[in-house]
Every structure is written in C-alpha cells, then in structure tokens.
Structure 1
Amino acid sequence: MIDVKLTTCAPTWPWARQTPGDSLQWGPFRFHVDTEVERCDAWVVFESLSQTDNTFCPPENVFFIAGEPDTIGSYQPAFLDQFAHVVSGRNDLQHRHQIRLQQGHPWFVEKSFDELASMPPIPKSRDISVISSDKAFTEGHRARLDFVRALQQRFGDRVEVWGRGLRDFEQKWDVLAPYRFAIVLENFAGDDFLTEKLPDALLAYCFPIYYGCTNVDRYLPDEASLKIDIEDTEAALDAIGRLLANPEEYDRRLDGIGRARQYYLHQLQFFANLAHVLERHVRSDVAATPVSLAVNGSFAAAPAVTPQPEAPAAPAPVSLMSRLRRLMRG
C-alpha cells in the first residue's frame, strides 16, 4: 500500500464514510486522515492547516488542494511554495505545478459510500426542492434570492424552498430525497469549481437544475443535469416549466441519474479524485526527508503595488470550512 498523510480543514468530518467499508483506502492508497504520521509516501493538505505540522515524506510528493474559489480568501505565495503540486480551479494562484481540476468536495448527504453505491432509485412524491438562504450581502446573493422568488411566483407550491433563514432543516437528505428535481445554485460560477451541491442532488436521485461550474461537462455527462443561467430568468423558468409539464420527464431521465451517481462515486468524489491525481504525480524514486509545513497565515502578505482607497468590507461568502463546521454542530 501507498501511505498518504491527509491533513484537512475539518478534522471532525466523517471522512471514512466516503470510502468502501469506511476503510479510508482507495485503490493502492491508504489514507491517514488528520492524525500524526511519522513517515508517509505522500502528504496532501486539503484547504488549510490548523498548525505547523511535519513528517518524513518525499518532498516531491507533497500536495495542496485549494478548496475555495477566487472570491473566498487567498493563499500566500510562500505558503504555496511549500508544496510540489497544487490542485485548484482558482485563477489567482501562481505555482510551478498547478493541476487545474475540480477539488472533490465531500458530499453532505448523511449516507456512506456503501449505502449510496448500492442504493436503488427511491420513490418520489414532490416536484422541486431548492436549498438557499436569506443572505443578501452581495450581488450574487441578491441574484439568487431574486431567482428563487421568481421560481415561487411561476410555479407556486410545486417549488419548496429550504435553508437558513427561510425554512430550516436538520438532515440534507430529508430535503432532497422526496423530490424529483432539485434547483442547485452554486455560490460561484466559473470553470473547474464544483462543490457538494450538485453531487448531493444526484446522490438523492434528484435531477439537478444547475447553475455554477461553467465547464461541468468536463466532469459529468450532459444528461446529468439541466444547465440554466439565473441571469436569464425567463429562459431558465421556461426550461424548468418544460420539465414540469411532462409527467414522464423524471422517469425518462432516471437511468442517466443512476449512471451519473455511479460515475461520481467511483471517479469524481474526494478520494477517487485525489487517487487520480496521486496516480499521475506521486514519485516512488525519491527518498523521504523531513518535511515541515506552516499555516497560510504565518506568511506575510506581499505589499500592494499601488495603495487603494479603503472600502467598507463586504461580508464574505460562506466558506467550505464554515459549512462543514456548521453541519458538524447540527
């Protein structure tokens, strides 16, 4: 086995459930998650370190996965220079070996890999679920709220809206599984940034109506979702209306949903995605040496070239780390 030290931004997250038999193994790779490891064949950091850490590892096999889009946070160049490879969909990083790829965010539905992989289609009794929030801090927040209101005005009680400040819920599975369709609105629209929102819908056997990753077809077949543009509200609503007008539309798409689920579980989700990267880039011909990694915040930010007028700070979008912590708190 190839031993991989995995350091994450969410040490209490149930990472093992994303592997067969809760084994924390994927193919030839055995993952040691958020635990001290004296020696390893590769070291992967997902999004952040909580403190300086060290181990014996070939320095060429040290990887960083940037879990956030351009609009959230930043990584100091000296922090990134600690890593031999950086996996990211961001446009603001400069690294000698950047691997441009979606990051394989862990799913949020409360099921294990084994449960999901063996699960047959489930009975559906409702039409459309939307998971959103009442946040209106940014232009993007307001655009999503406006679109959700337009959905409700057009389709009435065929659309059910869930989310913080709107209609709270405890289990994400419970607000997806009963529905044929799910409106999936990412917090960021751009290439190679795909969160758990789209996979969560598929895993619950919903057909996703999707706005977000602009090259999602790189990762999932066209049949796996209906792409919409919430900035073209009328066209998006008309497309959704055509889905709802045909009672057989969901059943017609069910085989495609099943194929997309299996492809995601075995090829795109966190450990499968990471295994693909490691298979291509881990070197076995390099000796292990002491490797120490410092946190991003320990490196001073580069001074701005031109001073900018100070502007009021806008509330940041909710980060991956915040979402994971919120779920763990229940």
Structure 2
Amino acid sequence: MISINQTIIEGFRLKGISDVPELQVLIFLLVLLIYLICLGGNLTILLLVCCDRHLHTPMYFFLANLSIIDISSSTTTLHRMFVITTTHNHMVSTSACMTQLYIFSTSTSNEFYILTAMSYDRYVAICRPLHYHTIMSRRLCGLLASACWGCCFIEVVPTILFISRFTCYISKDIDHYFCDVLPIRDITCSDTSLVDLYILVFGNVNAIILLFLTITPYIFIISCILRISSSTGRRKAFYTCSSHIMVVVLFYSSIILQYLVTGSWSNMTFNKIFSLFNTAVVPMLNPLIYSLKNKDVKSALQRKLCGIFLFCKLYLCFKNFGPS
C-alpha cells in the first residue's frame, strides 16, 4: 500500500550545488571559468588533430575521441547548473532528466573504454615500435573507437530503463546539480533492487575489468623500458606514455571518490564536490596535460598560430594597398 507522502511526478527539482545564496555567484563564476577553459582546451585539441596532418596518428585519434567525451560530459552536466544560477529555475522534466543521465553515463562509460584503447596503443608504440603502423592501422583504430562508442551506448540503456520504470517518489527534490543515478535512487519509493544489482554486477565489475586491461599493458611497458640500456632511451619511452598515465590516474581516482567513497555518505555536499571535480576539473585538466607535456601538440599549435598570424598580416597588407 502506498503511503500518503509518496507521489507520482512528471518532473524533478534540482537543488543545485549550494543552498547558500552568498556562495552561488562565486561558485557560478568559478565553474564558468573552469568550463570555458575545458571547452577551449578540448576544442583546440580536437581542431588540431583534425587539421594538422602531423597529428594524424592513432594516439591523437584516440585523444580527439577523449576530447569529444570531455566536452559532452561537462556540457551536459554543467549547463543545468548555469540555468539554475542565472534563471533560478530548478525544475527539469523527467524526459530531460533521463536524457541528461543517459548522456553523462555514456560519456563516463566511454572514457573507461577509450583510456583502455589508448593504453594498448602505448603498449604497441613502446614494446613493438617496428610494427606500430602495421598493427595500429586506420582500420583497427576505427574498429576500436566504434567498439568503444557502441559498448557505452548499449551498456547504459538498462540503467535508464530501470530508473524510468520508477513509479513513485517520496520527493521531487534531487539533492544535486544534475540528474545522477544515486540521487534519483535515494528519493524513489519504488523497488531499486534491479538498478542496484545491475550497477554492482555489471557497472562495477566492468569498471574493474577495464582498469585491469588498462594497467596490464603498462606492466609490459615498464618491463620493456627497464630493458632499454641507455638512460636517454628510457626517458624517451617513459615520456611517450607519461601523459596517458596521468590522465588514467586522474580519471579513476575521481570516479572512486565520487561513487565508491561518497556513495555511502549521507552528506551529499561531498558527493557534489567530487562530482564537480569529475565533470569539470578532470575534463579541463586532460587537454592541459597532453598539451603541456607533448611536443607534437605544442608544435602543431605553433604552426597553426603562425599560419593565422601570417594570414591576418597578408590580409591587412592587401587591404592597405587596395583601392581606396
């Protein structure tokens, strides 16, 4: 029998990241700055990989996929917080909430797969350099990327179907700044056993398997690096994969903090903080890590900037000498 405080609703009210009015403007400006850096950095990486032929390699192909994921994840989660702060409209329809949850979940899931594919690419580059271009062909890279995108889109569907079947809620207030699985599960009075079982068995186990598949190539990479006789060769080999290692550590640590650690805490403030780190800070840092530590990216950026400067200079010259 359904109690009187249970209700069937057609929309939710997102509380936002903070209930303190004095902090909302400061948080808005800080997150907006982070988002603009994230968007600018990832778009720069994406455009450079598409336009510069020197970056038409498997490593940068997967890096471009990672940039698309970061843009998608940060935009779909942070835009609602911007709307809440600027318009004070906290309401979101059920369909919009499920759409946001689906896009965010697929982006997070896809990052697991793409990072695994990138670790395999680094393994081939360091352990089998003579066969690198033969093994990491365009066809294989396309198949790996297609498999990553296909798996993430299919993997998230059962979770969305289970949550969309919730028929009643004890409240319409979601204590978060975007629609996520745990905050929605906490306010429903429907049976959540299928969602919990799917997340436990498939979500967590799949994440552990992908973490194992991401780490295993680096065991062989470290073994291969240690066998290199010259210190210069060892530094060069480690430099080749150091950026990817930093991104993997950053991503997995943020996921662990957001779901495995804070998932059991009653104080949702910590969950929001770690969610913000995962959806804003990590996507901002990824392009910075690759651009600051990667000579190819910096060289490509310099070439494009020089080309733009030369084009502007020639345009001004023709404009000055043109008919008055």
Shared fold per TM-score greater than 0.5:
no
Q: Under a length normalisation based on structure 2, what TM-score does the superposition of the two structures give?
A: 0.29
Structure number with the higher strand fraction is: 1
Q: Under a length normalisation based on structure 1, what TM-score does the superposition of the two structures give?
A: 0.29
| Structure with the greater alpha carbon radius of gyration | 2
Structure number with the higher helix fraction is: 2
Higher relative contact order (CA 8 A, sep 6+): 2
